[in-house]
Structure formats: structure tokens, C-alpha cells
Amino acid sequence: MDIQRTLSIIKPDATAKNITGAINADIEAHGLRIIAQKRIILAKNQAERFYGVHSDKPFFQSLVNYMSSGPVVVQVLEGENAVGNYRDIMGATDPAKAELNTIRQKFGSSIENNAVHGSDSTENANREISFFFASTEITG
């Protein structure tokens, strides 16, 4: 068993559609446990720091504006192979290319407004989890 933790963000397009519960149901149906969760509004400088790795990309400023445009729900997910498992459950970054019944295929509307974020490695998961949560806020 390789029990891992990963960071999930339910993005502003999804909170605007009031589908936090539907996304959480998908997460839990696939065996991941939501062991920490909070609904917040990101400041622009927080979004810039969180997505700093994309700062040279043409979509960076638009991404920062979008991620700070409304509430997000940040979550820590725990389970077997959580990083890869959640990426499978989310589907491809572009909802148009995501597999049937993935979160992004069902709920995303564009490559930017793609409903959810998930860490892409265990190393980044640790960094991203500590970006949003103190260890005392995580009840594993």
C-alpha cells in the first residue's frame, strides 16, 4: 500500500456552479478521503506564488485573474496512490480531451475553467499542501 496525500483545488468556475458537493462525491466514490478542506478567496499575489512555475507561460496572467475571481475550495486528499489516482479522476487539463466521466469532462468548460486542480507529484503535493494548510489543520 502506498498511502499518499495530494492537494486539490475546486476552482472558481466550479464553486460558481455550486457543484462542490458533486465533486466531493466523485472524490469519495473513488476511495479518496477529504482529510482537510476550506473555502477561501485567493489574493492575486497568492495565486501568483502558487502557480509561480507557470509565470513564463502566455496564460499566466489570465490564470491568476481567474483563480482569484471567486471562492475556491482547497482540500487535502488521502488514499492509495492519491497523486496519480486523483489525476486519473480529474482527467486531462483540457475538458474537451478528458476521458468520459472524469471531473473535468463532466464539470469543466475550458482549458482554463477546468473545475479542479491536483498536484502532479508527491514532491509538489507536499509543497502545495503546506502552502495552504498548517499540519494542525489536517486530520488524517
Which among 87, 117, 125, 133 is annotated as catalytic? Answer: 117
Helix, strand, or coil here: 8?
strand
Binding map of ligand CMP across residues 83-122, x = CB under 6 A, - = no contact: ----------x-----------------xx-x--x-----
In the sheet that holds 72-80, the strands lie side by side as: 33-40, 72-80, 3-10, 116-118
Triad 100, 102, 105: Cα angle to 5°: 70
Answer whether 20's CB lies under 8 Å from 37's CB: no
* CB-nearer residue toward ligand CMP: 97 or 135: 97
CA atoms within 13 A on the CB side of 29: 11
* CB-nearer residue toward ligand CMP: 13 or 36: 13
- Closest CB 1 distance from ligand CMP, rounded Å: 26
Binding map of ligand CMP across residues 55-84, x = CB under 6 A, - = no contact: ----x---x---------------------
CA atoms within 13 A on the CB side of 67: 23
Catalytic-residue membership of 54: no
* CB-nearer residue toward ligand CMP: 63 or 103: 63
- Which residues lie near ligand CMP (CB under 6 A)? 54, 59, 63, 93, 111-112, 114, 117
